């Protein structure tokens, strides 16, 4: 089935897309990959669906000395690259371009014209102000300080921070302190794009709106949980950042731990921001530290070498960075949550680059039945398994043991009850950045991390890093 990504009526059939209030968004790092690959396309698609009011403003700021027309051509070219319908892009882009302005300059330089930027943004009482820092985390504090000095941190202003928030607990605290000196916590939106995925949000509904699962959603019913994020790509052009981070800091500290929290948390009193985040924080606080004595039995580190994927030769990680390195590109962790609900239930967290296929999923494996009532030669009843697929092909599967139809006796078969979002709802849904940007405008913090969440996650990750360093754990090649 071919899906038109741009027609407003086809984005969510049967759903009413409510326009957000007018806003002005300033994207610092506007010529960077994140802005051109994710942020501007997300705003464009929301514009095509009628959610972005015509009086909104989109202002890209970067040091590149180019004009607004030059910048718009960069944005248009990137949209054409990612769309299957070049004609639709051309038809709608001219209208969208009327919202976009480019502002050249170094925001940390003394000569930067903050007054001109303020005029581009418009009066505070007219539009909500969003400042998106698509920048390295070391610049978050200095840029926020400049925004404060320029008087742009008004009551209607919101600041959006990309991950990573630091590289350990100490640096995360320093960044949070610096940003917090300019903006109140209620105005700080720390993005983890996994929280904007349709299936991740559906996990809350699956758990708390269906009585089927909750009685079994504990150590008595669940044997183990697997959370996997596998990528086929290598470090690529991110090697300068990645070699100082590795898979544990880059993926586990944010994406995988956030997924773990949503699987393991207690039911919140409602889905308001702090109610959800309070419960997630309790999970992070209950994670059993992984110390020097058990790091070798509870974690595995790996690094990809040269090989072939899909018939094409690919370089190893050391070849890409031009030297030997002990940075892990694969990590597996066996984690435990020391609380009443999950005592001694293992949570397996896995992520890696250069994996055989790209997929992200959560697998909840239930305990087997206590007694097999069918004959042994008929096959065994396998444990039920709930599979929540985040990407690609978002959906939910519940695997059950059933009788194989026919007159051949009691033969067992393991089959899925399958909810495919594409097959069931039949159309494209907004991607994570589209949803999260609209949530910022609506002042909905429930999909964003609070300061204490970020720091609690780093506190646990730091124990693993320290144990790795003290034990000099083996780095396997794959």
Residue 160: burial class (beta carbons within 10 Å; 0-12, 13-18, 19+) = buried
The answer to whether 229 touches 353, Cβ cutoff 8 Å, is: no
Beta-bridge partner residues of 385 = 365, 399
Query: CB-based contacts of 242: which residues, under 8 Å, 6+ apart?
Result: 235, 250, 327
Sign of CA dihedral 360, 135, 303, 264: negative
Reduced 3-state DSSP string for the chain: CCCCCCCHHHCCCCCCCCCCCCEEEEEECCCCHHHHHHHHHHHHHHHHCCCCCCCCEEEEEECCCCCHHHHHHHHHHHHHHHCCCHHHHHHHHHHHHCCEEEEECCCCCCCCCHHHHHHHHCCCCCCEEEEEECCCHHHHHHHHHHHHHCCCCCCCEEEEECCCCCCCHHHHHHHHHHHHCCCCHHHEEECCHHHHCHHHHHHHHHHHCCCCCHHHCCCCCEEEEEEEEECCCCCHHHHHHHCCCHHHHHHHHHHHHHHHHHHHCCCCCCCCHHHHHHHHHHHHHHECCCCCCCHHHHEEEEECCCEEECCEEECCHHHHHCCCCCCCCEEEEEEEECCCCCCCCEEEEEEECCCCCCEEEEEEEECCCCCCCCCHHHCCCCCCEEEEEEECCCEEEEEEEEECCCCCCCCEEEEEEEEEHHHHHCCCCCCHHHHHHHHHHCCCHHHCECHHHHHHHHHHHHHHHHHHHHHCCCEEEC
The answer to whether 437 touches 263, Cβ cutoff 8 Å, is: no
The answer to whether 263 touches 435, Cβ cutoff 8 Å, is: no
Distance in angstroms (rounded) separating the CA atoms of residues 112 and 223: 58
Question: Is 45 designated active site?
Answer: no
Residue in 45, 103, 193, 255 annotated catalytic? 255
**Closest among 361, 417, 416 to 389, alpha carbons compared:** 361
User: Which residues carry out catalysis?
Assistant: 255
């Amino acid at each position: 089935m071919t899906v038109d990504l741009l027609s407003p009526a086809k984005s969510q059939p049967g759903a009413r897309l409510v326009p957000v209030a007018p806003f002005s968004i300033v994207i610092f790092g506007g010529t960077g990959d994140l802005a051109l690959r994710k942020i501007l396309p997300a705003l464009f698609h929301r514009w095509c669906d009628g959610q972005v009011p015509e009086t909104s403003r989109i202002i890209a700021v970067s040091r590149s000395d180019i004009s607004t027309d030059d910048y718009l051509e960069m944005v248009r070219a990137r949209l054409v690259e990612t769309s299957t319908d070049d004609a639709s892009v051309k038809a709608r882009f001219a209208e969208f371009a009327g919202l976009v302005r480019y502002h050249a300059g170094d925001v940390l330089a003394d000569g930067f014209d903050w007054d001109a930027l303020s005029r581009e943004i418009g009066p505070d009482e007219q539009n909500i102000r969003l400042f998106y820092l698509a920048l390295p985390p070391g610049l978050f504090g200095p840029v926020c300080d400049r925004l404060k000095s320029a008087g742009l941190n008004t009551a209607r202003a919101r600041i959006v921070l990309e991950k990573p928030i630091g590289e350990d607990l100490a640096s995360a605290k320093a960044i949070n302190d610096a940003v917090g000196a300019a903006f109140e916590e209620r105005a700080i939106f720390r993005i983890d794009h996994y929280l904007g995925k349709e299936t991740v949000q559906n996990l809350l509904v699956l758990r708390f709106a269906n009585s089927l699962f909750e009685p079994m959603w504990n150590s008595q019913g669940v044997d183990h949980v697997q959370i996997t994020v596998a990528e086929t790509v290598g470090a690529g052009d991110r090697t300068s950042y990645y070699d100082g981070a590795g898979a544990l800091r880059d993926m586990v500290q944010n994406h995988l731990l956030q997924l773990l929290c949503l699987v393991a948390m207690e039911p919140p009193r409602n889905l308001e921001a702090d109610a959800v985040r309070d419960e997630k924080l309790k999970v992070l606080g209950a994670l059993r530290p992984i110390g020097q004595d058990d790091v070798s039995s509870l974690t595995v580190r790996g690094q990809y070498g040269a090989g072939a994927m899909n018939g094409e030769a690919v370089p190893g990680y050391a070849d890409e960075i031009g030297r030997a390195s002990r940075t892990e590109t694969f990590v597996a962790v066996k984690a435990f949550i020391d609380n009443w609900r999950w005592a001694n239930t293992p949570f397996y967290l896995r992520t890696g680059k250069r994996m055989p296929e790209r997929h992200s999923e959560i697998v909840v494996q239930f305990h087997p039945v206590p007694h097999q009532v069918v004959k042994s030669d008929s096959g065994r009843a396998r444990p039920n398994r709930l599979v929540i697929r985040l990407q690609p092909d978002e959906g939910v599967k519940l695997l059950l043991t059933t009788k194989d139809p026919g007159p051949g006796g009691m033969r067992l078969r393991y089959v899925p009850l399958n909810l495919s979002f594409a097959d069931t709802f039949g159309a494209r849904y907004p991607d994570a950045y589209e949803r999260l940007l609209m949530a910022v405008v609506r002042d909905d913090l429930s999909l964003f991390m609070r300061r204490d969440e970020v720091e609690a996650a780093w506190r646990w990750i730091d124990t693993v890093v320290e144990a790795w360093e003290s034990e000099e754990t083996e780095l396997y090649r794959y």
